C-alpha cells in the first residue's frame, strides 16, 4: 500500500515571512514542476551570454519576415541593398560591357574590390 504524506495544521502554519514552516525546514525538497523551473532558471542564467550571442548571429544571417498591414501605412517599399564592393565572381561571370563598367568604378574609387 502506498504511503501518503499527511499534513498536520501545525506543520503548515505560516510564519511571519509568509513561508510555511515545512518550506523553510525542507528547502531542498521541491515538487517536480518547481524543480524543473528552478533547473531551467539556473541553466538560463548560466548560458545567458551564449544565447544572446547566438541570437545576435542568427539575426545577422536571417531576414525577418515582411510584416503586412492594411492601408497606406501598411505598405513600405523595401530599400535595395547598396553594395560597396565587387568580388572576383562578379567580374568573371558578368558580360564584357558590364565588366568594363565595374572596372571603371573600381578605378575611380566609387566601389571597392575584394578577393
pLDDT tens per residue, range 8-65: 555 554 445 555 544 444 566 889 999 999 999 999 999 999 999 999 898 888 877 7
Pairwise pLDDT comparison (66 vs 56), residue with the higher score = 56
Of the candidates 115, 65, 57, the residue with the CA atom closest to the CA atom of residue 91: 115
Tell me: pLDDT of 91 over 70. Answer: yes
Kindly list the domain boundaries of the chain, sorted by start residue. 30-62, 83-115
73 vs 19: which has the higher pLDDT? 73
- Say if residue 95's pLDDT is above 90: yes
For position 67, what pLDDT does the model report?
A: 66
Cell readout for 29 is: 525538497
- The alpha-helical segments, DSSP class H, found in the chain are 21-25, 32-61, 88-92, 96-108
Amino acid at each position: 500500500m502506498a504511503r501518503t504524506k499527511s499534513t498536520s495544521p501545525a506543520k503548515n502554519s505560516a510564519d511571519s515571512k509568509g513561508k510555511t514552516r515545512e518550506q523553510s525546514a525542507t528547502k531542498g525538497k521541491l515538487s517536480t514542476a518547481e524543480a524543473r523551473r528552478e533547473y531551467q532558471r539556473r541553466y538560463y542564467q548560466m548560458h545567458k551570454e551564449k544565447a544572446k550571442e547566438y541570437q545576435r548571429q542568427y539575426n545577422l544571417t536571417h531576414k525577418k519576415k515582411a510584416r503586412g498591414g492594411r492601408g497606406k501605412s501598411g505598405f513600405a517599399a523595401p530599400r535595395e541593398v547598396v553594395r560597396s564592393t565587387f568580388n572576383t565572381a562578379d567580374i568573371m561571370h558578368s558580360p564584357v560591357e558590364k565588366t568594363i563598367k565595374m572596372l571603371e568604378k573600381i578605378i575611380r574609387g566609387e566601389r571597392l574590390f575584394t578577393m
